[in-house]
Structures are given as C-alpha cells and as structure tokens.
Chains A and B, each alone.
Chain A
C-alpha cells in the first residue's frame, strides 16, 4: 500500500481501489479552531491581550428571540399609520426639581470626545436637538461644540474625571455617574496613544501619544454608601435641579440596581453585554457581563421589589439596533433606550466607502472594529483631520435624525398594532418567546404555549403532575 493510501485510510480501513478515493475532508478541531490558532499566534507576537473597538462577537439571548402578538379578534388595534401614539418620556422626577423631558424614549449614549471626533459629536448633537432627545458626554469631558448643538445634554461623571469642570456640570440638563459600562464592566476605559492627539491630550491633561488606561474606581468614593453622599454633593452643586442617573454595566444587576436606588438615584442606566466601546481588551467584550435583555428583567424585578417602578426610570442600552428592539425593551419594563453603536452606524460606521482604507486595516466594510486604532476609514472614530473631513457634518446629522425617526415610527407601529396609544403602554403580555431560553429569561410564554417556562412555573407543573398522579393512583407511593 502506498503512503498516500495509508494516509487516506488512516491505516485502519481496507485500501480503496484506484479511482474510488473520496476527496479528503479537512477536519477542523472544535477546540483548536482557525480562530483560536490565529489568536494564540497573534498573542505570541504581541506579548499582551488583544485590543479592539466595537462590541462582542458572541450571539447571546436577545430581543430577536421575542415576537409581538398584535391585536386580531380578541383585541382591538389602533389604526397603524394614523392614530395618535404618544412617545413623550419624562426622566428624573424622583428628587430633581427639573426632570428631563424627551420627545422620544431614546437617548444618545455617552461616547467620549476622544473616541469620537468633534464632527461626529456635533452631528449627534444636531440630530438629537431636532429629535427632542438628549446626548451624553463621555470620558474627556464636555465638548463645547456638542453642548451648543445639543438642546438636552447629560454630563457624565467618570472615574478618570478627565476634562471634568463644575461649570460644565452646571450647564448640563442631567448628570450621569458612570459606575461601569456593558462592554467591560469592572474595567476602565482605554484610549490608545494613536488617538491621544495634542487636542485630546490637553483636554484630558495627559502627555501626547500616551496609552491612556482609565481607572475603574472613582477617586472619591467606593461603595454604595459613599455613592449616596456623592449624589448629595452633585445635587448640592446644582441646587437639586438636575436628575442624577447612575450608569451600571450589567453584572450583578439585581443587587446593583437596588443599591443605586438606595443611594437615591433618579434614573438607572443599564448597559448590557452587547454594549460597545471605543477600545477594550477583546476577552472582556466576549466574557464579561450579562446580555441586555437578561439585565433588563433583573432590573425591573429590583425596581418592583423596592416599590419604585415608575418612580425611578430605567434606561437600557447595549445592542439596541432598531425600533423593534426599543419597543420590546419598553414592553419588558424599560422607560427608554440608549443607542451608541447604532447611531455611529447611521453616521456611516462600516459603510462601504473608502474600501482601500478598510483593506489597509485588514478588514472589509461590515467587519471593521478599528475604533481603537484611530484609522476609521469613514472619519468617525479618528482624530486624523484628513479622515475626519470624510464625515460631512450636515449630512451625518441628517442620517442620524432619519435613523432615530425610523426607530420612533417602528415603535409606534408595534404599539398601535397591540392597541396601545402610548409606546410606554406596551407590556410583556404583548409578546411571545421564540426560544426556550428567552421564555425562561423573560417569563413570557413560549409561542404555542400558554405558560412561561421559568423555574417557578416548571416547579409548579411538576407539583401539579405529581398531585394528579397521586389522585389517580391513591394507593401508590406518596409524593415527596
């Protein structure tokens, strides 16, 4: 037998007749896949963890695992394209003298001037103002152009306090204390040296070109009792006028939300695992936190447990990609959603433009995650003036406006179909689960069944089945 034939048959099977040999099948290891091999060999060169922008690559349970069950004969829908359907959203009335009022239950998430450039931040502000929604600052402080463009602005208080200025705090319409973010809860932000230009370095009081790794702990408070006093300080600094949000990366959500409520937050911002970032070690994106839908359920139960549903508002973010996700989030108990990546994609992120620059980064449009390198081909996550000039301010603002407008219309469409005259009236009962795991997470019945599969309902079914059997066979063994 030739060596070739031995190889084909692994030396165990009878040699095949000449001409019968099947084409060899290349068997890829499930453990040592091509991705794993590439990952190990790249780290063998880097000597550190990998960095990337964007979000997790993993598929996690999400809002696509739910479907609406609109009105038919048993319920009456509203006229889909005509009848009034309210979208107004008020946030922060628990303690603040001046709650924030949005025309839509949507906000633009905190993204730093540094991760994004001036044109991108300003475009988001312009779009938000036309939409009647808020923008949010980020690590690095407030960009004056964004403040001028944004009618409603939320000012973040972050652990690094880069660019923090009490004058800017007082100019804000709400304040958001960032405890963590969904992309990497428990770890601080990163801005690699390639993006720390002279302007950004000055704003953050850093040396030009330094790899900035932000702290994760706040410098002046640590635990929830401290947070309560910190919130009091911020209220005193702003005459108790501005709503105080507390932003949490989705982790131990139930406990965290309860502690934030106890610390007297007005609003909880909950960022799920699908949340994106300008730069992060990739292992954190894929292996920390819990999905947005799961986090939302835990948070709603926590609010309910403390009897503050409706009093403390809940904003969820992380992977919200359209009005469908937003409508489902509201139906599950959120008061509003926050979008970051979706807004950047509307700006042109990953658009099939300047293809040769994608190729220089080794990616194709649709797969780019180079927010961290500062070489964004479409001029959004870059401080390079030439690249930034590719983002045309007015056109970019128009695209974000159009996209968010489409989100609002999609939300209203589902609400009307479910017979609701206000998007906030959507409820879990308006949906069915398409997967077992979504049913167990949300407590919504699996489509085709009438009862949700949760640990409680499963236990109840088992008990009922045993009782039924005991009744049918009274002389059988007793139920244990």
Chain B
C-alpha cells in the first residue's frame, strides 16, 4: 500500500475508507515517516485529524469535511478542494488548500497557519482564538463572527456580516465588503500592517501591494451591555 520514493512515503488511497487511510498514516508516522503523499483521495471525510506531529502530509486530490481538524503541528497540503470544517480547532502547524474550501474553514483555531488559494464558504474563521487564516479568493457570509484573536486575510471580497460581534483579532480585506456585522469597525491600515501583509502573502505568490486592503477590528461596544445603545444591541446576532 505504501512505498518510499526519494524520502517521501507514498500511500495509495484507492478504495480505502477514512479509517483505513488514517490508520495507515498513523502507522507510517509511528514508523518515523516525515513526508507522506496520499494518492487517489476522493473526498473522504475526517482525514488526518488530531495529528500531533511535525510531519508533512500531502493529499493529492480533494478531501471531504474536517480535513486536518484539530491539527497540532503537522504541515498538511491538499491539492484539490475541501469540505466544511477544514483545520477546525487547529492548535498549531500549517494547512494549505490549493483549491476552494467549504464553510466553517479554520473555525476556532488557536494557532498556526491556514491558507486557501481559492474561495471559502460561509463562516470562515469564526470564533478564532489565534493563528492566521489567509484566503486567496473571497469569503462567505458571517466570516470572522465572534472572532476572539488571530488574523484573517481575505484577498478577494467578503460577504455580509463580516466580523460580526468580534471580541478581538484583526481582519484584512483586499476586495469589497458587502456589509459589516455588528460592532465591526473599518480602520485604515498602518505601514506596519502593510509590511505584515506583504510578508504573509509573498510566500504564496500574492502581491499585497496590488490590493487595497481594509483593516477591520472590534468596536468593543458589545463587550459589556449598555442601554444607551439599543439599536446596536437589537441588531447584535
């Protein structure tokens, strides 16, 4: 099932279930593999979840829901698209998707980096508690909802409800924002912000200077209830 080619262990997943693929990956990691390529994945759910390793795992094809969920240190690359819940609750490590991602991408991550070359569905990066989410394309409805910490970079457009009820954290948007969510406040990026964006996007071949980034943060008016702002509190989700 697995063979070693130039230091990379190649695992053929043709006809294998989620369980069989994950068991095979766990066995290879236990045997000391540090670079694994998984061929012929066809959208199986829950692949490479809760891995605590520094290894690199490269899925050649599209994967289903919860790929790289709860990742803690692994470098996971997906050549195709992915379903919902990519890298949810990631503690650390790095996940790259070179297609599009479904809804709930990178939710509640605590650390590490998640990169989506294409677009994301709704609720990208909600409840993020740290780490960085970079979206090369556009992001869907309610992205950054109740974000607590961390950074989201959206190179394309953002749909309605961006940054609704954020506690803390920062969102950058290179395209248009359809509508901000409750208490999300647009600010002018500083030189420091621009330097950060250039560095963060350079390794993915994206020129930050060609985009007119907006910076979005919490207005902090929802941190504690105030009866002086009834309209804000009625519209808070």
Contact = CB atoms under 8 A, between A and B. Distances in A.
A236 B108 contact: no
Contacts of B88: 219-220
Q: How large is the interface on B (under 10, 10 to 19, 20 to 34, 35 or more residues)?
A: 35 or more
A19 interface: no
B45 interface: yes
Give the residue among A193, A232, A238, A240 with the most B Cβ atoms within 10 A. A232
Contacts of A167: 52, 72
A432 B149 CA distance: 56
B66 A220 contact: yes
Given A193-B224, A229-B45, A237 B70 contact: yes
Nearest to A46: B227
B91 A165 contact: yes
Interface in A401-450: none
A47 B233 CA distance: 11
B148 interface: yes
A15 B224 CA distance: 60
A48 interface: yes
Contact of B89 (A164, A205, A229, A240): A164
Overall SS of chain B's interface: loop
B89 A207 contact: no
B147 to A, nearest CB: 10
Given A164-B89, A220-B85, A169 B50 contact: yes
A335 B28 CA distance: 41
Interface stretch (B126-134, B151-159, B194-202): B126-134
Contact of B146 (A166, A170, A215, A237): A215
Contact of A205 (B45, B70, B107, B149): B149
Given A161-B89, A161-B108, A207-B168, A166 B50 contact: yes
B32 interface: no
B59 interface: no
Contacts of B45: 229, 232-233
A210 interface: yes
Give the residue among A48, A160, A164, A238 with the most B Cβ atoms within 10 A. A164
Given A205-B148, A207-B168, A226-B84, A233 B49 contact: yes
Interface in A193-248: 193, 205-207, 209-211, 215, 219-221, 226, 229-230, 232-233, 236-238, 240
Give the residue among A219, A229, A240 with the most B Cβ atoms within 10 A. A219
Interface string B212-226: 000000000001110
B167 A206 contact: yes
A210 to B, nearest CB: 5
B75 interface: no
Contacts of A209: 223-224
Contacts of A160: 127
Contacts of A230: 66, 85
A219 B49 contact: no
Contact of A221 (B84, B91, B148, B227): B84
Interface string A98-130: 000000000000000000000000000000000
| 9 closest cross-chain pairs (CB), A and B | A47-B227, A237-B50, A219-B107, A220-B85, A166-B70, A161-B108, A205-B129, A220-B104, A233-B66
23 contacts: A160-B127, A166-B89, A193-B223, A205-B110, A205-B130, A205-B148, A206-B167, A207-B167, A207-B168, A210-B223, A211-B223, A211-B224, A220-B108, A221-B84, A221-B85, A226-B84, A229-B65, A230-B66, A232-B46, A233-B65, A236-B49, A236-B50, A237-B70
Interface of B: 18-19, 22, 45-46, 49-50, 52, 64-66, 69-70, 72, 84-85, 88-89, 91, 104, 107-108, 110, 123, 126-127, 129-130, 145-146, 148-149, 167-168, 223-225, 227, 230, 233
